[in-house]
Amino acid sequence: MRHILRSQQFDRPFLDKLFQRAGEHRQRFAKPRRRRSPIYSLQGRILVNLFWEPSTRTRLSFALAGLHIGMKVETTENAEEFSSTVKGGSLEDEIHVVSSYHPDVIVIRHKSEGAAERAAAVSQVPIINAGDGAGEHPTQALTDLCTVLWEKGYLDGLRVAIGGDLAKGRTVHSLVRSLVNCCEDPKFAFVSPPSLHLKEDTKAYLRERGVCFSETESMREALPSADVVYWTRVQLERYPVEERQQYEDLTRQYAIGIKELELMRDDAVLMHPLPRNEEVSPDVDADPRAAYFRQAEYGMYVRMALLEWVLEE
């Protein structure tokens, strides 16, 4: 079974194949609707979305990805409230039961780190991790790397500035690992206040592999040399209520507006997994380097290709 659980499982040949196929899907959608031939590559196969945490992009892009290639889709969008876990049922029991109804794939988002692995251990069908707490978000990393490829034209030798909540931002943990595993010689500058510094295990991952990185609070230091600027919000929901105000205030200290954009190279790309709060001003949306809405769109093409790979016969 082809589970997608962590970004460490990806390698470059896998990415090359996936992004090639995602590119074909993208091209199809570039045509006007009447000239677009439908694809039935997963005709009649069934996708179940089980989301214990809120989501717009991941949930809907998986659902639409499935529908666009002929799948049927069933979704529980607030499993925390509407699934039997509210009555005390365990994640394992839920997956055991849902997978016994013979869907073809289950996409799961959960608040606990390691949830997708626990699900995979009891599932009869492939599990796709759509975010496990502050752990990982591997399909976002695929989306992010595909965006870099399509926006910049290459994936090797990148200088990447990553800012925001590096402690609890799961997209950061997954992106860093996949850049290290799949791309030649990435260099990282991590921009955050000390209280949001990169999670220790991700730093250890970099050190063990001899990857070059720096940590700074200064955007002025990190932005000018970056090919890719990847910004993230503070994951307020993962902090105790009484600490949230203090973290919210930090957001303003590392916000990207017109002035910060001027620090960036003309050929840099500005990415964000969304949703954004105040860390990227809407004033920069019109700049051609601001790629976050394209990034969200590309996510659907990547997920179409990924579903096809997971369910390849």
Q: Which residues are catalytic?
A: 57-58, 87, 109, 137
* 133 near ligand ASP, rule: CB under 6 A: no
Query: From the list 68, 137, 177, 303, which residue makes contact with ligand ASP (rule: CB under 6 A)?
Result: 137
33 to 62, contacts with ligand ASP by CB under 6 A?
none
**Minimum Å distance from CB 17 to ligand ASP?**
25
**Minimum Å distance from CB 252 to ligand ASP?**
17
**Minimum Å distance from CB 212 to ligand ASP?**
26
**DSSP readout, 39-104?**
--TTTT-EEEEEESS--SHHHHHHHHHHHHTT-EEEEETTHHHHSGGGGT--HHHHHHHHHHT--S
Q: How many residues bind ligand ASP (CB under 6 A)?
A: 7
Residue 266 token pair: 């003309």
Contact letters for ligand ASP, residues 257-286 (x by CB under 6 A): ----------------x-------------
Residue 145 token pair: 């790397």
The shares of helix, strand and coil residues in the chain, as percent rounded to the nearest 5, are 50, 15, 35
In this structure, are residues 187 and 206 in contact, taking their beta carbons and an 8 Å threshold? Answer: no
Report the distance separating Cα 48 and Cα 105, nearest Å. 6
Q: Is 111 helix (H, G, I), strand (E, B) or coil?
A: coil
**Minimum Å distance from CB 309 to ligand ASP?**
22
Q: How far is CA 128 from CA 1, 121, 213, in A?
A: 11, 12, 30
216 to 245, contacts with ligand ASP by CB under 6 A?
232-233
Query: From the list 123, 129, 171, 181, which residue makes contact with ligand ASP (rule: CB under 6 A)?
Result: 171
Alpha carbons within 13 angstroms on the beta-carbon side of residue 70 total: 11
* 170 near ligand ASP, rule: CB under 6 A: yes
Question: Is the Cβ of residue 45 or residue 230 nearer to ligand ASP in the bound state?
Answer: 230
Q: Give Cβ neighbours of residue 23 (< 8 Å, ≥ 6 apart).
A: 150, 301
Question: Is the Cβ of residue 68 or residue 110 nearer to ligand ASP in the bound state?
Answer: 110
* 25 near ligand ASP, rule: CB under 6 A: no
Give me the residue whose beta carbon is nearest to ligand ASP. Answer: 273
Question: Is the Cβ of residue 170 or residue 303 nearer to ligand ASP in the bound state?
Answer: 170
Residue 41 token pair: 């590559």
Q: Give Cβ neighbours of residue 6 (< 8 Å, ≥ 6 apart).
A: 117, 129, 136, 138, 174, 177
Alpha carbons within 13 angstroms on the beta-carbon side of residue 135 total: 20
Question: Is the Cβ of residue 123 or residue 235 nearer to ligand ASP in the bound state?
Answer: 235
* 138 near ligand ASP, rule: CB under 6 A: no
* 131 near ligand ASP, rule: CB under 6 A: yes
Question: Is the Cβ of residue 137 or residue 159 nearer to ligand ASP in the bound state?
Answer: 137
> Using CB under 6 A as the criterion, which residues of the chain lie in contact with ligand ASP when the complex forms?
131, 137, 170-171, 232-233, 273
